[in-house]
Structure 1
Amino acid sequence: MTVRVNGKVVTPSGVIRQGCVEVRGGRISAVAEYPAVRDGHWVVPGFVDMHTHGGGGHTFTTGDADQARAAAAFHLRHGTTSLLASLVSAPFDLMRSATTAFAPLVSDGVLAGIHFEGPYLSAARCGAQNPEFLRDPSTDELDELIKLGDGSVRMVTLAPERPGALEAIGVLTRHGVVAAVGHTDATYEQTVAAVAAGANVGTHLFNGMRPVHHREPGPVVALLTAPNVVCELVADGVHLHQGTLTFATGTAGPERCALITDAMAAAGMPDGEYELGGQAVTVTDGEARLARDGAIAGSTLTMDAALRNAVAAGVPVPDAVRMVSTTPALAIGLGAEVGALQPGLRADLVVLDDDLRVVRVMRGGDWIE
């Protein structure tokens, strides 16, 4: 059966104002102009969230498969058709058990992979990461996790100034795992060395990083100016000022900036008390902060809201769509399967109204009800 979705179709080359996406057998079979359309809804590729810790009252950080399924289902309703399950710094036993629990979900397509944000991070820039679990990178640990995951471990965030970090980046890149720089007090030179070793993602740029100084540009400038690095940006109005968001986008371009949620379990839930990596989190007016010191503790963001916020900040719709779909898909090695409205790719798409709010979501050719 062939399904046709009509509207203002956003493709990698621009917007087809009177367009149609044709779907057959779970794949996009054609994308073309369709003159019969008159200013319909926006039709955009399914969102790809490469950094999220949970949502809808459910978390990825405990390594519980049922929680992971529920969190992924919550984000799917907000248009996220592919996501990495992000864990936070934890003992190695939890990292192993989470890998074992999540690998079948990756095989089943519920998750696009696993992201370990830590524990190889800077104590000085740990943010909401639990300092009790921080340690130097271990190639033995990484080798074991990669083998155990059998392709499900897709990204690891580490601080390049920690002893053994460059060797760890080498292990990750040799196995096709994305090495990301984050929660770091590295100098500019140390960050450049990490990029030269194979790191190609900046984890939530600006946040959890040594700030820019005119005599020590630090990791932010090194990552923004590296032509092969994709920079994550949290467009929730808390992590970044709108001016910072548009500055980064203007500097690196939408092809190197990926919007993420960095969401925790409280996304889509009422204000109140929550938990992240064994630490108490208080959510007030949708803003998540550690109870002990007020550090930002992830977000309550969804990808559709991130898209709206970026557009409200001045990012053109086609660029913002690239930042929530195409760029993150390419960054984590999924670009041949998802992330754009192109023939041959999986039929993941989101229909948005003129206020960029979700009307309908399709994943693999099936509408999500």
Structure 2
Amino acid sequence: MTVVEGQIWTPLGWQAGRLTFEATITAFEALPQAPDEWIAPGFIDVHVHGGGGADVMDGPDGIRQMARFHAGHGTTALLATTITRPWEDVLQALRAVRDVSRDQRSGEAQVLGAHLEGPFINPGKLGAQPPFALNPSAARLQQVLESGALRVVTLAPELPGALAASAVLARSGVRVSFGHTLATAAEAAEVISAVQAAGGTVAGTHFFNAMTGFSGREPGVVGALLARPDTFAEVILDTHHVHLESFRALMQAKPHRTLLITDAMRAAGMPDGRYELGGQPVLVQAGQARLPSGSLAGSLLTMDQAVRQAVRAGLSLHQAVSLASVVPAQYLNLTDRGDVQPGQRADLVILGQQGELHHVYLAGRLNLRSHTIT
């Protein structure tokens, strides 16, 4: 049994209190005053490729190494995210994610399943994705669903078969996220309607990046998603992928549907140098990961850094934490986390006033790898 005191996150604000927990939270007692430590639900990263020198495509050992690295930065749960590779490589990665998700080990962020980013993307908008794009045929869709790992699929809504595939995914409980797309607003809107009619949820993958932008005459995918307040938006808040003014505009449109992600690649937490992403050479320098073409190749971000960046952008710590934990839990329809109440899983972070990380608890166990990064 563990007992901690501090300023505890609640939907209405911070509450001085005492929290008692084992694997789950057993008691929450309000206090007249408590230490200046902020106790919040653990961060949930729905889009992360790697970190600490490892990548999802490396197989089970790589996934576990990545999960340990990000657990040290406040991520208590994540979706292991694939990259566009030859089809059999993608299926193998999904099976690896499934196997790891069924066997969580001490010190690892819980792998909730897979985010399939590629190959169902537009070959004309690859970004840092390798050139193995495919259309989402019924046979391919059946194969990825049979993996048992799928939670989110990034796809380009303009692809042949995307409309039918999106409805199938929605009926299967998989989130559909638009990315690496050249779709018009009309094409995006048609798929949004199909997904919602099937009871599903739509998001924008790394919003603003690798999608058609907004203008007065052609709203693009950005405009189609902004116009619908019930859709979600992932955002990589490292100041390289998204300008802070763009982030502030997004928060005006979707204050309760924006979620922080890392989109981190294997070099997160590693020194500058040469790495790879999906078999492509990547140069990491001055806080950026880029292909030889100059395209950004994922990020070097961690979730605790993203929260602090949101605070620097003008959000309160309470709202920044919400974008990292509460909104992702709502997006994935998780009912056992994303709040700090009795009965919830004791995935917790303890923060300083500006979001600096003090401690991480994974299902009630203190993660000794967690530490403050400034």
| Bin of the TM-score, shorter chain as denominator length | over 0.9
State the 1:50 CA deviation: 0.2
Which piece of structure 1 moves more, 83-92 or 99-108? 99-108
State the 1:276 CA deviation: 0.6
2:139 is matched with which residue?
140
SS in 2 for 1:184: coil
1:295 is matched with which residue?
295
The answer as to whether partners of 1:246 and 1:315 remain within 8 angstroms in 2 is no
What is the rounded CA distance, in whole Å, between the counterparts of 1:191 and 1:14 in structure 2? 36
SS in 2 for 1:351: strand
What is the rounded CA distance, in whole Å, between the counterparts of 1:123 and 1:21 in structure 2? 50
Which of 6, 19, 22 is 1:21 aligned to?
Answer: 19
- Stretches (4+) displaced over 3 A: none
1:260 is matched with which residue?
261
CA-atom RMSD in angstroms? 1.3
Q: C-alpha deviations, 1:228-261, integer Å up to 9, x for none?
A: 21100110010001111111011111x2000000
- What letter is aligned with 1:99? L
What is the rounded CA distance, in whole Å, between the counterparts of 1:128 and 1:52 in structure 2? 14
Does residue 83 of the first structure (1) align with residue 78 of the second (2)? Answer: yes
Q: How many residues align?
A: 358
The answer as to whether partners of 1:68 and 1:85 remain within 8 angstroms in 2 is yes
Q: C-alpha deviations, 1:104-155, integer Å up to 9, x for none?
A: 2111244111111011111222110112x01211221121221132xx2111
1:286 is matched with which residue?
287
Which structure 2 residues correspond to residues 213-362 of structure 1 after superposition, within 5 A? 213-253=215-255, 255-291=256-292, 293-334=293-334, 336-362=335-361
What is the rounded CA distance, in whole Å, between the counterparts of 1:215 and 1:269 in structure 2? 43
State the 1:333 CA deviation: 2.6
Residue identity over aligned pairs, in percent, reads 42
2:174 is matched with which residue?
177
State the 1:313 CA deviation: 0.5
State the 1:92 CA deviation: 1.4
TM-score (normalised: structure 2) = 0.93
Which structure 2 residues correspond to residues 88-167 of structure 1 after superposition, within 5 A? 88-109=83-104, 110-131=110-131, 133-149=132-148, 152-167=149-164
- What letter is aligned with 2:288? E
- What letter is aligned with 1:320? A
What is the rounded CA distance, in whole Å, between the counterparts of 2:362 and 2:24 in structure 1? 10
What is the rounded CA distance, in whole Å, between the counterparts of 1:173 and 1:96 in structure 2? 20
Which piece of structure 1 moves more, 100-109 or 29-38? 29-38
- Please, which runs of 5 or more residues in structure 2 have no aligned partner? 105-109, 196-200, 369-374
- What letter is aligned with 2:273? G
SS in 2 for 1:111: strand
SS in 2 for 1:51: strand
SS in 2 for 1:228: coil
What is the rounded CA distance, in whole Å, between the counterparts of 2:150 and 2:62 in structure 1? 18
1:206 is matched with which residue?
208
What is the rounded CA distance, in whole Å, between the counterparts of 2:354 and 2:52 in structure 1? 23
What is the rounded CA distance, in whole Å, between the counterparts of 1:240 and 1:5 in structure 2? 36
State the 1:36 CA deviation: 4.4
The answer as to whether partners of 1:22 and 1:30 remain within 8 angstroms in 2 is yes
What is the rounded CA distance, in whole Å, between the counterparts of 1:224 and 1:232 in structure 2? 12
The answer as to whether partners of 2:317 and 2:354 remain within 8 angstroms in 1 is no
State the 1:163 CA deviation: 0.6
The answer as to whether partners of 1:79 and 1:361 remain within 8 angstroms in 2 is yes
1:188 is matched with which residue?
185
What is the rounded CA distance, in whole Å, between the counterparts of 1:154 and 1:14 in structure 2? 30
The answer as to whether partners of 1:361 and 1:367 remain within 8 angstroms in 2 is yes
What is the rounded CA distance, in whole Å, between the counterparts of 1:271 and 1:192 in structure 2? 41
